[in-house]
Amino acid sequence: MRILFLGDVMGRSGRTAVTERLPGLRAEWRLDAVIVNGENASSGRGLNAAQARGLLDAGADVITLGDHALDQKDMMQAVEKEPRILRPINYAKQAPGRGWRVFEIGGKRLLVAQVLGQVFMSRTYDDPFSAIEPVLTAHPLGRAVDAILVDMHCEATSEKMAMGHFCDRRASVVVGTHTHVPTADAMILPGGTAYQTDAGMCGDYDSVIGMEKAEPLRRFVTGMTRERFTPAGGAATLCGLFVETDDATGLAQTVAQVRIGGRLSQSAPA
């Protein structure tokens, strides 16, 4: 399978970049599946139902969320009604929606799951490792499913890397989200799992992790809050990870970072 994962969509700028560019990329790269993290698509906090529909209509097969999964009120209902939207597995047990699902896409079975890390996060979540273990055990790669992608949404690079090694040989892709900066460590782990610590964001990088610079700078320099954070509205860089898997095993054969448009240096699969 040829899989594209796009990192945290940040505000209007990120949504525009995805909706304008994704249809062309699907055709040009002959993509079988596209997974988009929509965690910050709605003014930087969560995702609403209308914006989710826009991402799906643009060509996303699955949308993952994160610690702001239910910040937008109508997502409480949307995540129940729309099976293509996933919130983290280890979110509050009473939360609506699901944290993983098997999708039939072009005759292939793709399992997508999302877990939240615990280190440096603002809330206490269940252990992500014990949360993902039964899912991987019940769906052996290359037999029960053709490919598995795990979105590890957390702060600590160490926790993300630990999840990559924990899933090695049992998942096609483990990719980190949440910190909005693409890391330079896209690779295939020893067991055959494609990995990147953070895919980066789809947003304006002339910013402080996607937010207009003035208010974050004021808080850092003075320790005082004056205004709410506002997503930066300049040209966005579409950031993500491209992976091609082996049909027999489901393990990764090719991995490449994606950075298109905006201010960052450009990168795309050969």
Annotated catalytic sites, by residue? 68
- 2-6 and 238-245: which strand pairing? antiparallel
What span, in angstroms and rounded, lies between the C-alpha atoms of 252 and 1? 9
- Whether 179 and 153 have beta carbons less than 8 Å apart is answered as no
